[in-house]
Structure formats: C-alpha cells, structure tokens
Structure 1
Amino acid sequence: MLAGELSASALRIRCLRLLLPSPFPSSRRRVLLRFCRRFTTTGCAATAAARKDKVIVISGPTGAGKSRLALELAKQLQGEIISADSVQVYRGLDVGSAKPSKSERQEVPHHLVDILNPSDDYSVGKFFRDARQVTQDILNRGRVPIVVGGTGLYLRWYVYGKPDVPQASIEVASQVYSELAELERSDDWDAAVQLVVKAGDPKAQDLATNDWYRLRRSLEIIKASGLPPSAFQVPYDSFKEQSISNSTSNSSIDGSSKDVNSNDLDYEFNCFFLSSPRLDLYRSIDYRCEVMLSESPGFLLEAKMLLDMGLLPNSNSATRAIGYRQAMEYLLSCKHQGGRSSPGEFHAFLADFQKASRNFAKRQMTWFRNERIYHWLDASKPMERVLNFVHDAYHDHSKNLIVPESLGMPRDASSRQELAELKKYRARNRHFVNRDACYDIIEWMTQTQSESMVSLSERKEARSGRRRRKRKPIIHSMDSALGYYLLPFLLIVVAGVWLTSRKRKNNNQKKKLAPPGPWQLPFIGNLHQLVLLSITTHLPPHEVVRRLAREHGPVMRLRLGEVTTVYLSSARAAEQAMKVHDVACATRPFSAVGEIIHYGCKNLVFLPYGEEWRRLRKLCVVELLSARRVMSFRSIRMEEVSNLVTRLETTSQQKERGHQSVDLKPLLLSLANVITSRSAFGMDSSRELNEEFVRIVEGVMGLFGAFGLSKMFPSLKFLPIISGFRSRVMALHRAVDSVLNEVIRQHMVARTRKVHGDDATEDLVDILLNIQQNNADQAFPLTMDSVKAVLLDIFIGGTDSTAVTIEWAMSEMMKNPSVMARAQTEVRSVFPDRVSEEGLSELVYLNAVINETLRLHPPGPMLPRQNQEKLEIDGYEIPTKTPIMVNVWAIGRDPSYWPEAEKFDPDRFLGSSIDYRGTHFTFLPFGAGRRMCPGIQFGMVTVQLALANLLFHFDWKLPHGMKPEDLDMREVFKIGLKRKQNLCLIPVPVASRN
C-alpha cells in the first residue's frame, strides 16, 4: 500500500507540472512544486508512520563562517538558532565570542545567548537540558531548530543523548584527581593506565595516549559505582561503533556514513561541519584576532571587565575561554608594571592569542573527524552554493544524503605538502604590522586605571591632528648662500645623532635581554642590600625580595657572592617557569647539605631530573603516597588526634584555676611527628627511637635553613671546613644513618618471622623493602641508600609543614573571631557526635579557611628551581643552570590577583575553582609542575582532621586578657615559614563533648 501511495504522490506532481502554464515564472514554479512535494510526502508519512522532527546542526572550527551560514539558512526556513558556543552564553563577552549583533538577533531569534553572568559556571549537562527544552519549544511553534556552534562536547550530548553514567561526588572526584595528578605532571601515561586497569577497567589500555580526561573519568566511575564505564550505556559510543562498521562500505566523498541507523536518536539530525583548507583557515583566524583587538571598545575592554568583576584567568568557564585568558594575563602583567606596555609585549600577547586560537581550531577538526554523522562542507566555496545544498538537504526525506564532490571537504589528515607548509607557517599580521599600529592600544593601556577613558577613535583623531600640526618646514628659504652651505653640515649632524641614538638603542635592547636588578658591588654583589634591608625593616628574606621586585619588576636578578639567582614574583612568570618550561626547570639547585645528608642526593627533592628521578617519583606517587595508601593510615591519624584532644583536656583541667595558656607549637609538632613516624616506621619501632629521630631531623632542617658564606661562595672549598659547617653536617648524617639503619634492621628481622605479608599492617619501610627486594630494573636499581633518602624526605615533608599550617590557621582564626565562630558552627553541625575523616569534605568553610591560610602563609615561601637549558621568561633571557626562586609568598599577596590581599578572607575561596594542586598559578603553596610536592594528600588530611577536632572539642581564648588585634602575627623564615612567637591559647573544653 505504501508503494501505491508513493506512486500516487508522484502522479499528482506530474499532473501539476502539466497544468502549470509554461510562461509561469520559474522561481514561483519551483516554490509551488516544493510545497506540493512536501504536502504529498507529509500525507504519505502520516498514513505510514509518524516522521521524526528534523533538526539542523552546523558546526566547524572557529572562523569558518558557520554563524553566517546558519543566519541565512534560518531566514529561508523560518528557523530559530540555538547557540552551542560555551562562551556566547555569557553577557558582555561579545567580541571574543563573535556573538551575533543585536540587529541579527532581532531578525532571527537566537537562544542560549546572554543568559549568564561571566562569574557563573555552565556545564555540558546544563546545556543539554536547556538546549533540548528550547528545541522542543521551537518545534511546538512550527519552526525549524538550527543548532550552531563549535563546542564539541555540547553537540555530542545534544545529538546522541546524555549518558547514564553515575555522577561522582566531590569527595570521589578529589580523590581521583590526587591519584592521577602527579602522574599527569610527570607525563607517566603508562603508569596511570595501569593504575586504572588495576582498579577494574581493562579497556583503559585502549584509550588514546594522554587522554587524561577520559582516564580520570573512568576512575571516577569505578570508585562511584564499583563498575567500569563499559557497564553503562553511553549513546555516543554505541553509535560510533556502528558508524565505523558501516563507514568502510557506505561512505560519501566527505567521509560521512550513509547507512547509519539513527532510530535511537530523539530527532532526525542533519549535521554539517563547515571547514576549509588549514592554511586558509589559519590566515582567517589570525586576521580575526587582529580585528577583535582593533575594534572599539574592543576585546581588551571585555577582558578588563572580567578582571574588574574580581575574576582571575583560568578560574571559571568564562575566564578559561580562548583569548580571554591570554588577554587577562596580559592586562595583569601591564597593571603590575604600572599600566605600561611596550609594543614588543603587545605583539607577544597577540602571537599567543593567535596561536591559542589556531590550536583550538585544530582540536575542533580532530574532534569532529571521528563524528561520522557530520557531512563535511568546504567553507571556501561560494556561500550561496553551500546554503542551497543545506536548504535542499533539509527537504530531502530519502535519508541518503550525498555531498557532491564540488562541495565536499575531506575529513582525513592533510597531505604531505600541506603538512610541510603548516610546519613553516608563521602569522603575518595585516593590521598590527609595526610599532605605530599598536600605539592606540598601548595608550589605552595607560588609561585603564583612570575613571574616564577616551575612546580609541577619538585618541586616534587627536593623534593624527597632533601629527599634522607638527609638520612644519625646517628651512624656510634656500635662496641664501648661508642656507646653501649650512645644509650639508646639518645633514652630517643629523646623521651623527641618528647613528648614535641607534647604537644606544641597540645596546639598551641587548641589556634588556638580562633580567633587571639593583646595582651590585664587586665580590659580594647584592648581599649588602639584602642585609641592610633585613636589619632596617626587620623583614624576612621573602619580604625583602618582594620589596626589591616592586622596584625592579616581577623577573629580577640578584647576585649573592658568586651565585646569581633569578627571582620570579608574578603568576605569569611562575607559570612560564613551572608550566611552559616545566621540563627545562624540573631540576633543583645543587645543595651541599642535601649531597651529604641524603646519600649523594638520592632522594626525590634533590635528585636531578631524569629517568631515575621519574622512576623514583612514580614509586612515591603510586606506591607510597597514593590516596589508597594514605587512607590505610586513617586509624593512626584518628588515634593520635584523639590523644592530642585528651592531652589538651587534661592540661586544661590542671590549669583551670589559673587559666594558664597552652603552647600549641610543641603539641602540634609532636602530633605530626608521631603520625609520620608511625606511618613510616610502624609500631615495631620504639617511641624512644622515634623521638631521637625527631631531634635529629630538627637539626637537619636547621642546616637547610642556614644562611652561610659557603653557600654564596661555592668555589671557596675551604669555607665549610674552617667554619665547622661540614663537620656538623657529617655528624648529623651519621646520626640519621644510624637511626635509619636500626629501623630497617628491625623491619628485616620482623620480615623473616612473617610467613605471609599483610598489606593492612604494612608501613612505608615495609613497602620500600618489598620494592627494593623485587626490583628487576638493573638500569636504575632501588639501593638501600635510596630507601633511606626517601624515608628522610617523607619525614621532613610530613612533619614541619603540617604542624606549621595548623598553627597558622589557628592564629588567623583567633585574629578574626567571626571566622572562628563560623568555622566552629560548621564543624559542630556536620559532626553531631564525633569527627570522622569521611565527612571532612563537607567542611566547605573550614577548607576555605585552610586555603586562605596557605595563601598568606605558604609552608615554603620561595620555591627553588634550576634551568637545564637557556630559556626566556617574560622576555628576559635566563642563562643555563641559573638558580630560579619562585616567590609564592609574594604571588599569594599580590593585589593584582587578590582584592584586599593582606586581609584574611576565606570567603574568596567559596564557590571558586582555585585550589592548592598547582593548576592556578596565583596560588602555589605546594608548587606546580613536575617538582610539585607529591605528599599533599598525606599532609592535608592531617591538617583537616586536627583542625576539625580542635574546633569541635574546644572553645579558645587568648591569654592575659589579650585582644585579637594584639596577637603577634610576625613571620620568621627558617626552612619554612613559621610564627616568630609561639601561639599560646587557653582551651576551654565543650561540656557536651566530654
């Protein structure tokens, strides 16, 4: 019956052609025939089966012209446009997102544009829900939905549906991040894959190399549900498998599948990917970036708006957008220099902007190359032809769409010739071709701090007017003989002055290659300035360095004796050293103390970067300090924190009559020491042995923080000997070695008595001995010296910084009683009976207090690096093997990034994505990159648990009637950043908790 109906419809169309008079206008004739065809087809479909609603999807790389195509198509089809652009959802971000103009939005309705403030986050799940609802509303109005945008994940969910994979909790996501972050920073993809395979997902081995997002998501799913991702239905994956199986035999010239079963999709999608040859695309993108910066009010004004809202680069969805992040970092850099910018700095920013945009377009093409449902169209062809094809494709109900060869765009990789040309490609600017072209931008930069800003066009007219007024003749008359003879002389003088200024300019440019710094004295360099400033201001070294950096810039050179060190005091410079040049700067400066104490630098801290260091770090991250291993020491932490609470309660009862205070520093240091020593050495080691080791380690830490002449004049080998410094180091090394040998001997004896190992009772020494015994790597064997060096690393890193962070957090809360009250209320509401580690992630405000404490008081105020090759940071050349110190203390207090930077305000971290894991370079308490501290999880869980218990069990008072504003908050720098005066408080036990 269906065949009969179809033949009847064809017969009706033939009859209509015969009835129409031949002089009937051809354009109206086509419209009438098209209407008749739609009417007859619709009638047949109504009798046969209900046809799915059609939706047009247009995507493509940035700058391909997809928005213009969608706009013209919507006019012809009576359609409405749904934006699938993750930036166009934000109000005020018009230029950078190439948002349609107001007149275009009035002519054609646009949806999901200007719906959020830039401070809000927008996820793919929210887009799926909003876009599907808007689509249905458009269809209910009898109009055509046209989805256009380049955000690949948005469109994947929109077309194929939302996966039913379970959502991971914040606690699970944080745990997974900590397990994989260290491996990702060290580029150890194989170890990360094996970790996920061991957790329960064997298909992780099939993932594309360095697809860290999917690997992390796989581990989240396993931990959240106990099942691998393959156990859940992911619509796109099943569609992709079927598409690949059909693409071999049934594919069009553009590579799209012609025989894909789309019955499972909610709509009948007509998907098109608009692109062009990569060289043409790159040129278009580069010019587009120039246009964005040359327009008024321009792209930079939108980036300034984001900074004025208190947002930081890469802090949320809006500030991570391509271009906006680079522009915000450029503005912050200029603001740090007093609103000044050189043409070279502007052109460097423009080059970064263009490169990021080209890389994004390349990633888009790679993403959609695997989406077989898309038909690739050549954007370099006339727009009218492309438009007509898409228009006719919408009315084609055969489901056998074939892109003609004249319009198709191959989706495969570029040819060898094109790849060779792409490798040589360099941006050639058409607008900002010289220094004068960016004069208006730089002049605008100097005005951004003032309340009234003149538009770029007005300044341009004023500047051209000034130029016209300056054009006066130098010599008014050439008739006199005097003027005739003076002319050659004047030309010679002018040429001499020009050559002299040119030579001076070249010399200045050469000098600018080296980082600036204060003037130096022979032999001692800048030592006198550091000493004088420290004596006159009573400031520690990191504060003195910040003062000098404010005068000389965020990249500054200081020479102390023979050693020239570069100090970085801005987030931009830190990111270049720890991210852009992470591999080159992955080595620490040589330490004579570390060479002796750590068995020839066999530890993770001082071992030079290389294959041996990567294997040792992998051992620490995967075996010693993984989230699973840290979780296994939970009972130790709970017991020792409970012992601390008991000691405080006993002490408070003994001193209750006199209300005498308690010195928290030795109590907190003892807590951290015992937890670390029990985790590392186990219960078999005696408490006396642990206490002896603690005393020795305190002496070692004092040596690392010492400021001696032998460090400033390393070539004078006799200085450590005659000063007695070397003998003290050797004595401490022998003491350390003696204790560690005894600990290892006890464990070796205990191992001989065990028939079967018990993972639940294993400490870190057991784990290292197992690895050392079973190590089959002959190239880099784990020697006994390496075992002892790693143990010493863990003990030093897990004790001092943990205790100091807890002490500073209590100090800041005592200094700010409202913060203390709010944190106590949260802890006592989350934990009605007792504090447990399972609920620590619910303490949102207390975690914000800890973050704010780490911002103001990082454990290590200056982080050392050393470059293994010549590199450039902020335009300055850093010679090979130069010690580099990143002043994270100064960055954490920089008002360019932190409003009211000296104020303790935990609210700044609420709802913020900024954390201490090294991805936000405005906040680096534990560093970033390959040399980032691997034991963050080990220390931070102790900090959270201890603080929660102190606030849960006690109310706290200052002694001797002291007021909060009288509390001494001065710092002193040793190996870490400590309080100058110990924190003494009065604990008042809460009766209901006893």
Structure 2
Amino acid sequence: MWMVLVLFAVVIGVVFLHWKYGRTYEVSKQYGGPPALPILGNGLWFLNKSPVEFIKIVDDLVAVYGDHFRFWQGPQFTIYVANPTLLESILTNRHLTDKSSEYGFLTDWLGDGLLLSKRHKWHSRRKAITPAFHFRILDQFVEVFDRNAAVLVDILEQYADSNKSLDVFPFVLLYTLDVICESAMGTSVEALRNADSEYVLAVKEAATISITRMFDFIRRTPFFYFTPSYMRLRKLLKILHGYTDNVIISRRKQLMEHANNGSISTENENIELGLKKREAFLDLLLQTKIDGKPLTNLEIREEVDTFMFEGHDTTTSAVSFTLYNLAKYPAVQQKVYDEVISVIGEDPAKQIELSHLQDLNYLEMSIKETLRLYPSVPMIGRRCVEEVTIEGKTIPAGANIIIGIFTMGRDPNYFDNPLEFIPERFGGEMSLEKFNPYKYIPFSAGPRNCIGQKFAINEMKSVISKLLRHYEFVLPKDGTEPLLASELILKPHRGVPLQIRRRNINRI
C-alpha cells in the first residue's frame, strides 16, 4: 500500500512541477548555461561556499558562457546578465522593477521599505521620498560629514607614522554608521567613540546573518526559521527596531508639542536670523503624505531602517577601496591632494562646504573609477512579474535576473586596460558619457536607481578630502590586492591594510 502512496506522491509532484515550471523550462532553452540537476538545479554550487568563492564561480561561468546565461537555483530559473545592451532594456522595462527573490531575505529587518517594496507601493513611496534628497536638503548634511570625519582623523592619529599596517575598513565603517544615524534619525550612536555599543554590534551582526542567507542553499529554505541563526536575528532586530521606534515616537511627540505651543515661530525667527535648522531624514518622513495620508510609525521605520542599511556598508566599501587605490597609485593620490588643497586651502581643520565638494572633480573621478573596479554592490537583482521579450529572448514570469555590475566593470570588451586604475576615464576626451552608460552602473540605473547616490558621493568626497589633508596613505611593503568577498556588499575579506603618514603641513 505504501508503495502505491509513494508512487502517487511522485506522480503528483511531477505533474505539479510540469504545471509550474513547464513553460519556464521551454523558455530556458533559448539561453546557454551549465548543466543542472533535476529539482536541485545548480544550487549545490553555493552549498557551504564562502563569499570569496562567489566571485570565482561567476568568473568561471562568464569565461565559458559569455556575458549572459541561465542557471537554476533549485527550481528557480535565473538569468545572469553583464551586457550593457541587454541591461538597458531590462532596467527600463516596467515589468522588471521588482527586486529578485534574494532581497526577500531582508524583509524581517527592512519590512516593505523603498528597497524591497513592489510596483505601485514602490512607485508611490519613491515619489513621496524623492524630495528628501533634493540638493538643498543634502546641503545641510555636509556639516555632519565633516564633523564626524574630524573624529575619524583624531582616532587615526595614534596610528600615524608608526610604520605598522592598519586595516582602515572597520574605522571607516564606524564613521559611516555615525553619519547615517545622525542623518537618518537625528541621533548619534557615537560609533567611532563607542564601537562596542549594543546598537553598533547589532547592525553588524544582523547584516551578516541576513546577507549570508541569500547565498546559502540550505538557509534559503524555510528550515532557516528553526535554526539558531534565526533566533539570534530576531534578538538583534528587536534591538534595532526598538531603537528606531523609540526615536520615531519621541520625535513625533516633539513635533506635536512644538506645533501646539507655537515653537514653530521660533524656528522661523531662527531662519530669518540665518540660523540653519537641520532636519534628519526622519523629520522629513514625519511630514510626508501619500494619497493625503501621513506615513504610519511602521512605514517610517521601514524607510529609516532601509536608509540605515543601504547607507553605511556601501559607503564604507567605496571609501576603503578608494583609499587603497590612492595608496597603490601615489601619483594619483598626489594629484587628488593638490586639488583638495587648491579648493579648500592649507588649513587641515577648515570646515568643508558644499561648494568645496562640487569643485573636487578629480577626487570624484577617482571615486568613480574605484566604483568601476570595486562596485559597492557587485550584483543586483530583478524579478520578472510578467513574461517579456528582451532583445529577441523571452524572460518568463517569475524568473530572477542577476545583473553583474562587478563583471561588467572589468570586461575588456567594454573598458580598455580594465584592471588599470585610470580616473581620467571619467573626464575629458575619455569620458564614459560618450559610450553606453549602462556598462557602468554602480548605483544601478533606470527608474529604480539608488535614490541616495548624491548623498553618498558627497559623503565620500568629504571624508576622503578630510583624511588626505591630514594623512598620506601608503601600501605596506607586502601589500597585495585585497581578497574580495562578494556578499550583497563587496568587501575586503582580509581588510584593507594601509600605512598612514602625517602630512608635512601638519608639522608646521
């Protein structure tokens, strides 16, 4: 009898799989790609693999199958694309604005915020939040960038001229956490001064657990919810959500009290006297309405947590790898330093202003070239909600699309001498603007590009220019290319060890 039941279950399973994936299987024949096992697909590739191994896996596949191919994550049909022509059609298609299923593993933390929300909700949220990133709003955060960068300079002082290597990555990470907390919530966690605080440690660990799950074949399954990792994540999110909730409730109460007792008039008087009142991202969200209704505390928390999540690790990666490149190419570092001095002046303590940042063109070119070689987000994903045809090939409904930003930036088909650090690619006769812009998309592209890219570039330029006015960065004698780990964020597996030397100007 049990044999009959097993056979019946198998038949039902086969019928279900054919019904659910039959069309997808037929479409998949249009694409080249590696052989796959039944049901498991190519999922075993990623079983017990470290983030360092992910890059090699992708590189090997690209070498064999070219800049677009298909593979299977279990029964999930996935297309990998690192071709600018295809990407332009994909990233501008209205049926391909949803994020791929991997992003769903961040839902416990970020809820339905701008990063994860879909179609109509995403469109309405994006439209409502965009004014918060207007350049007039961003101007007020320059003081936050500069003040926290001064703290970073002070902390690094003890390591200067020691002839010892220092991993700059964790220090930059604490800096970006301080900046993003103050910018997002108007509060300071003083991460640089208190690296072991409960909130700071919770951010780091929650990010590690959430991102690891995206790439682990076993943890991607519902079994994850019964593991110690999930129990730990719940405790960490209780800390993170609790902190954000308390700040939201407190700030909403303050705004209501101000409105009731007439404090608004005082703020207006301050504006007339030339005294700037800085508004955190949270304050702007508290004033935001969608379809005439204010955002709930939960909706605000989703957006604040999203801004926090997206805004610290990504910037840390970009700043750390830029410092590495400047150390590796001393002539470029000198050129950047000369520009900084010509724009801001020789006083290393002088406060940076937005006008200074706008004039640091060669520094910006160096940051952009770093993001070509070391994109903070090496891969992004989209999910096809309705079957579409792109450049003559069908993408079935439910398919995931993985976009290889890292691979494309190092492809000799799209960049001359792709492994060379040449900031001039982004200026003058070599400007990338003369070519397909979709070959260089460190902040994504199309309607779902990064809303905070101007904020991020200004923050990078501010902290790097501050550091360079005080220190010269040098590669250790045994310095080697950083070992890259491809998580959701591109990270140096063994850090970014550099030596720092005080500038002569500081000894005057």
* TM score, norm. by length of structure 2: 0.83
Matched, 1:594 2:111: no
SS in 2 for 1:969: coil
Equivalent residue number for residue 199 of structure 2: 693
The alpha-carbon distance between structure 1 residues 648 and 708, as it changes in their structure 2 partners (threshold 3 A), is closer
- Please tell me whether residue 627 in structure 1 is matched to residue 139 in structure 2: no
How far does residue 527 in structure 1 lie from its aligned partner after superposition? 2.8
Aligned partners of 1:709, 1:794: CA distance in 2, in Å?
Answer: 23
Aligned partner of 1:969 among 475, 478, 482? 482
Which of 982-991 and 590-599 deviates more?
590-599
Change (3 A) 1:543 1:873: farther
- Structure 2 CA distance, aligned partners of 1:892 and 1:803? 19
Matches within 5 A, 1:47-66: none
Unaligned runs of 5+ in 2: 1-25, 268-275
- Match in the other structure for 1:945: 462
Name the CA distance, whole Å, in 1 between partners of 2:119 and 2:368: 30
Number of residue pairs the alignment of both structures matches: 461
Once the two structures are superposed, the pairs formed by residues 113-152 of structure 1 within 5 Å of their partners are none
Residue 117 of structure 2 corresponds to which residue in structure 1? 607
Structure 2 CA distance for partners of 1:708 and 1:890, relative to 1, 3 Å: closer
Distance across 1 between alignment mates of 2:225 and 2:215: 12
Are the equivalent residues in 2 in contact too, given 1:604–1:616 (CA < 8 A)? yes
Greater relative contact order (CA < 8 Å, ≥ 6 in sequence): 2
1:518 aligned counterpart, secondary structure: coil
Q: Which runs of structure 2 are paired with 1:620-659 in the superposition (5 Å)? A: 620-622=129-131, 624-652=132-160, 656=161, 658-659=162-163
Instruction: Give 1:973 shift.
Output: 1.8
Instruction: Output the CA distance in 2 between the equivalents of 1:992 and 1:689.
Output: 30
1:777 is aligned to 292
**Following the alignment from structure 1 to structure 2, what is the Cα–Cα distance between the partners of residues 692 and 512?**
47
Q: Is the 8 A contact 1:858 1:925 kept in 2?
A: yes
How far 1:531 moved relative to its partner?
5.9
Q: What is the CA distance between 1:606 and its match in structure 2?
A: 0.7
CA contact (8 A) 2:169 2:496 kept: yes
- Match of 1:926, SS? coil
Q: Measure, in 2, the Cα distance between the counterparts of 1:565 and 1:517.
A: 10
The residue that corresponds to 1:862 in the other structure is: 379
Matched, 1:746 2:250: yes
Cα distance in 2 between the residues matched to 1:876 and 1:989: 57
CA distance in 2, matches of 1:690, 1:740: 19
1:526 aligns with 2:42: yes
Q: How does 1:510-525 map to 2 (within 5 A)?
A: 514-525=30-41
- Cα deviations across residues 824-877 of structure 1 (Å, max 9, x unaligned)? 233233333246332233333222211110000001111110111111234321
Question: Is 1:574 equivalent to 2:87 in the alignment?
Answer: yes
- The match for 1:822 is 335
- The structure whose Rg is larger is 1
Cα deviation 1:859-915 (Å, max 9, x = unaligned): 111111011111123432110121111001111111111011112222222214436
Provide closer, same or farther for how the CA distance between residues 800 and 685 of structure 1 changes in structure 2, counting only shifts above 3 A: closer
**Corresponding residue for residue 495 of structure 2:** 982
* Equivalent in the alignment of 2:211: 705
CA distance 1:691–1:573, shift in 2 (3 Å) = farther
Q: State the distance in 2 between where 1:798 and 1:664 align.
A: 18
Aligned twin of 2:59:
546
Amino acid at match of 1:524: L
Q: Output the CA distance in 1 between the equivalents of 2:166 and 2:97.
A: 42
Where 1:921 maps in the other structure, the secondary structure is helix
Aligned mates of 2:184, 2:127 — CA distance in 1: 18
Would you say 1:671 and 2:175 are equivalent positions?
yes
Change (3 A) 1:783 1:568: same
2:6 aligned partner: none
Q: CA deviation at 1:564?
A: 1.8
Secondary structure of residue in 2 paired with 1:899:
coil
Counterpart contact for 2:181–2:188, Cα < 8 Å = no
Q: 1:616 aligns with which of 91, 100, 125?
A: 125
1:980 is displaced (CA, Å) by 1.7
Q: Does 1:878 align with 2:387?
A: no
Q: Aligned partner of 2:66: which letter?
A: G
Q: How far off is 1:935 after superposition?
A: 0.4
Q: What is the letter of the counterpart of residue 114 of structure 2?
A: L
Please report how far the alpha carbon of residue 645 of structure 1 lies from its aligned counterpart in structure 2 after TM superposition: 1.9
**Matched residue SS, 1:604:** coil
2:467 partner amino acid: L
| Paired residues of 2:168 and 2:495 also in contact (CA < 8 A) | yes
Q: SS at 1:975's partner residue?
A: coil
Q: Is the 8 A contact 1:515 1:877 kept in 2?
A: no
1:741/1:556 Cα in 2 relative to 1: closer, same or farther (>3 Å)? same
Conservation of the 8 A alpha-carbon contact between 1:561 and 1:713: no
Alpha carbons 1:704, 1:975 under 8 Å: kept: no
Q: Which of 307, 317, 320 does residue 794 from structure 1 map onto?
A: 307
3-state secondary structure, aligned to 2:381? strand
Query: SS state of the match for residue 287, structure 2?
Result: helix
In structure 2, what is the Cα distance between the partners aligned to 1:710 and 1:854? 26
**Alignment equivalent of 1:766, drawn from 280, 283, 295:** 283
Taking the aligned partners of 1:617 and 1:735, their CA distance within structure 2 comes to: 27
1:57-456 equivalence runs, <5 A: none
Give, in angstroms, the shift of residue 519 of structure 1: 0.6
Q: Give 1:605's aligned amino acid.
A: L
Question: Counterpart of 1:643 in structure 2: which amino acid?
Answer: V
Partner-residue secondary structure (3-state), 1:760 = coil
Q: Deviations over 1:69-93 (max 9, x none)?
A: xxxxxxxxxxxxxxxxxxxxxxxxx
Match of 1:845 in 2: 362
8 Å CA contact 1:681, 1:764 repeated in 2: yes
Cα distance in structure 2, aligned partners of 1:987 and 1:710: 38
Residues 384-431 of structure 1 deviation map (CA, whole Å, 9 limit, x = unaligned): xxxxxxxxxxxxxxxxxxxxxxxxxxxxxxxxxxxxxxxxxxxxxxxx
Q: Secondary structure at the match of 1:886?
A: strand
- Which residue, out of 260, 263, 283, partners 1:756? 263
Residue deviations 1:316-372 (CA, integer Å, cap 9, x gap):
xxxxxxxxxxxxxxxxxxxxxxxxxxxxxxxxxxxxxxxxxxxxxxxxxxxxxxxxx
Going from structure 1 to structure 2, the CA distance change for 1:664 and 1:770 (only over 3 Å counts) comes to same
Contact 1:972 1:980 in 2 (8 A): yes
Go from structure 1 to structure 2 and tell me whether the alpha carbon gap of 1:742 and 1:565 turns closer, same or farther (over 3 Å shift).
same
Distance 1:920 1:514 in 2: 27
Equivalent-residue separation in structure 1 for 2:217 and 2:207 (angstroms):
16
Distance of 2:195 and 2:164 partners within structure 1: 32
Aligned letter for 2:367? Answer: I
User: Alpha-carbon deviation of 1:822?
Assistant: 2.5
Residue 727 in structure 1 maps to residue 240 in structure 2: no
Structure 1: give runs of 5+ residues left out of the alignment: 1-509
Aligned counterparts of 1:659 and 1:913: Cα–Cα separation in 2: 38
Q: C-alpha distance in 2, partners of 1:771/1:689?
A: 33
Q: Secondary structure at the residue paired with 1:948?
A: helix
Aligned to 2:20: none
CA apart distance, 1:539 = 5.1
Query: Matches of 1:750 and 1:684 in 2, distance apart?
Result: 17
The one of 812, 821, 826 equivalent to 2:325 is 812
Task: In structure 2, give the amino acid aligned to 1:596.
Answer: D
Q: Is the 8 A contact 2:181 2:187 kept in 1?
A: no
Question: Which amino acid is 2:203 matched to?
Answer: V
Contact kept in structure 1, 2:129 and 2:288, CA below 8 Å: no
Task: Name the Cα RMSD after superposition.
Answer: 2.9
Offset at residue 683 of structure 1 (A): 4.4
Contact 1:863 1:885 in 2 (8 A): yes
Residue identity opposite 1:588 in structure 2: K
Contact 1:563 1:713 in 2 (8 A): no
Q: Which residue of 1 aligns with 2:273?
A: none
